[in-house]
Structure 1
Amino acid sequence: MAGDKQADGGHADGTVGKALDVLDMVASHGQPVRFSDLLDTAPYPKATLYRFLQTLTNQGMLAYDSDRGTYTMGMRLVRLAHAAWAQSSLAPIARPYITDLARQTGETVHLAQMDQGQVLYVDKCNAAKPVEMFSQAGKVGPAYCTGVGKAMLAFMSDSAMEAAFARQSFHRFTEQTLDTPDRLRAELVAIRARGYGFDREEHEPGIICCAAPILTRTGRVLGALSVTSTTARTSLEALEAEAGQVMACAARIAAEAENWRFPEQG
């Protein structure tokens, strides 16, 4: 759920926070969802949940299919998402650079930014022979076990890093997952020292990457990018040979983004 809950079951951000929670609930299903399905997991009484759904539908944030009795995300959200992509995302600036990097390396390139301690993938350029994997533009992933996530965490201020750490689940996805704060901290020190990091099959078996942060001249984290492949096609050593290109691409994106106004990361 978005935001922090109060002990009495309320929401620290009041009515707006609850409404956003309901939007998150509908979005998390990934398909049209019935009221009864939402009620099963909602922290709100039936009447309260129904009221929020009605208001969000009236405002165009949700759409209701009366024939099927289901809710989906509304077209107003689509318009807002396009505006956010253009105004707050690195994607419009970075697209030509990550396209060139994908062409040069022959591998998939991801572009990501940090959102409330989690990784938000904002763009992706597929390799000549794409590989099916979790990361797609618009998806949210864990920061502690992805290359782009660790690259961003490593260069955050101490306070931003601690806030992000508090939002990590440290669930063990694979045998390689860094599943404790201490293991992750040690990894971040190494990433900061060399300027880039890896995903060593930490989130998905067989998926590896080399990632670098996108930093302003003052060191503020704007995002990160990665060159991603599979263990069936290449190795970490081969991907590390691309680290110079990855960091150079990140620097070019940062230079062009320097005069833009992006939300503070983390």
Structure 2
Amino acid sequence: MNKQAQGDGTVGKAIDVLDRVASIGRPVRFSELLADSVHPKATLYRLLQTLVSQGMLAYDDGRQTYSLGIRLVRLAHAAWRQSSIAPIAQPYIDQLSELVGETVHLAQLDGGQVLYVDKRNAADPIDMYSQAGKIGPGYCTGVGKALMAFQEPGDLEQIIRKQAFYQYTPATLTSECALRAELDQIRAEGVAYDREEHEPGIVCVAAPILSSKGRPLAALSITTSTQRKSLEELNQALPALLETANRIAMAVQDWQFPN
């Protein structure tokens, strides 16, 4: 459990349990949760019972497993509609994916990481890590770097401190110095790339969606496999990507989105 949750009392502990169930990605038994829990057995059981009674978790008597509850799903959908740029961007990313025939991602920053808030698969989809609702690293993804490049200096310092610089592939940026140099280039060109930095064989071109004040609201990317297209070939879709990012930004102007 993280230190912040420890200091947030019962609510923090309950949210930590929810995070743990969600991170496993499948129905989970009590014994699995207890195995790496910092809570005593009785405390963990009490937290789980409370979450079940509130509809945040569901309990399967037959399998004796816990999974995310309907109430939590409903809250997640409400948050998606009210706090995410995704509902406004949806028709634009639909059009872009159909136009270029490749996978389109929409992402926002969550702390120092990337939260994929929407995704449109190509007509012939390829297997990759990113899915709507998943969290990914910022320093080695196109959308992450596009978002980081346009942060206010103080915010950027905090975000960079949160980067792990784990080397996923031989192309991964593994130092703050290398990342800062690339962010400078992205800031100058308005475009970011993932050159097989997070997943072997996966490349993308990304652009920020900027508010009227020049702050990044989200980032948009077109992603493909090197077996299908080279990065140079993917670059041919750059005009469509930039136009779509601009259209979404204009649509957001009339929406009460933090900027």
1:37 aligned to 2:35?
Answer: no
Alignment of 1:40-119 (within 5 A): 40-119=35-114
Choose the corresponding residue for 1:15, options 10, 14, 18. 10
1-structure distance, mates of 2:151, 2:56: 33
Aligned to 1:125: 120
3-state SS, counterpart of residue 110 of structure 1 = strand
1:132-153, Cα deviation, whole Å (9 max, x unpaired) = 1111111111111111011001
Separation (CA, whole Å) in 1 of partners of 2:175 and 2:8: 30
Task: Give the share of equivalent positions with the same residue, in percent.
Answer: 61
TM-score, normalised to structure 2's length? 0.95
Q: How many angstroms apart in 2 are the aligned matches of 1:158 and 1:253? A: 25
Question: What amino acid does structure 2 have at the position aligned with 1:206?
Answer: G
Structure 2's unaligned 5+ residue stretches are none
1:107 CA displacement: 1.1
Separation (CA, whole Å) in 2 of partners of 1:140 and 1:213: 18
Match of 1:158 among 153, 161, 182: 153
Which of these residues, 117, 134, 139, is aligned with residue 129 of structure 2?
Answer: 134
Give the count of matched residue pairs: 259
Deviation at 1:167, TM superposition (A): 2.3
- 1:32-84 per-position Cα deviation (integer Å, ceiling 9, x unaligned): 10111111111222222122111111111011112211110000011101111
Aligned letter for 1:141? G
Q: Secondary structure of 1:96's partner?
A: helix
CA contact (8 A) 1:152 1:213 kept: yes
Measure how far apart 1:263 and its partner are. Answer: 4.9
Amino acid at match of 1:48: T
Deviation of 1:14 after TM superposition, in Å, equals: 2.9
Would the aligned equivalents of 1:112 and 1:223 in 2 still touch at CA under 8 Å?
yes
Greater CA deviation, 54-63 or 253-262? 253-262
Q: Provide the C-alpha distance between the structure 1 equivalents of 2:106 and 2:183, rounded to a whole number of angstroms.
A: 19
Find runs of 4+ consecutive structure 1 residues off by over 4 angstroms.
none
**Match for 1:224 among 200, 205, 219?**
219
Cα distance in 2 for partners of 1:38, 1:263 equals 37
Structure 2 residue identity aligned to 1:253: I
CA distance in 2, matches of 1:119, 1:65: 32
Task: Give the aligned partner of residue 238 of structure 2.
Answer: 243
Given residue 243 of structure 1, which amino acid in structure 2 is its aligned partner?
L
Aligned equivalents of 2:237, 2:65: Cα separation in 1? 47
- What SS does structure 2 have at the residue aligned with 1:241? helix
* Preserved contact between residue 210 and residue 240 of structure 1 (Cα < 8 Å): yes
Counterpart of 2:165 in structure 1 is 170
SS of the residue corresponding to residue 200 of structure 2 reads coil
Give the corresponding residue for 1:5: 3
CA distance in 2, matches of 1:139, 1:198: 20
Is the partner of 1:208 in helix, strand or coil? strand
Match of 1:210 among 201, 205, 209: 205
Equivalent position of 1:180 in the other structure: 175
Q: Distance in 2 between matches of 1:134 and 1:68?
A: 29
TM-aligned CA deviation for residue 181 of structure 1:
1.5
SS at match of 1:249: helix
Indicate if the aligned counterparts of 1:88 and 1:261 stay in contact, CA closer than 8 A.
Answer: no
Question: Counterpart amino acid of 1:72?
Answer: S
In the alignment, is the contact (CA less than 8 A) between 1:114 and 1:223 conserved in 2? yes
Rounded Cα–Cα distance in structure 1 between residues aligned with 2:228 and 2:167 = 24
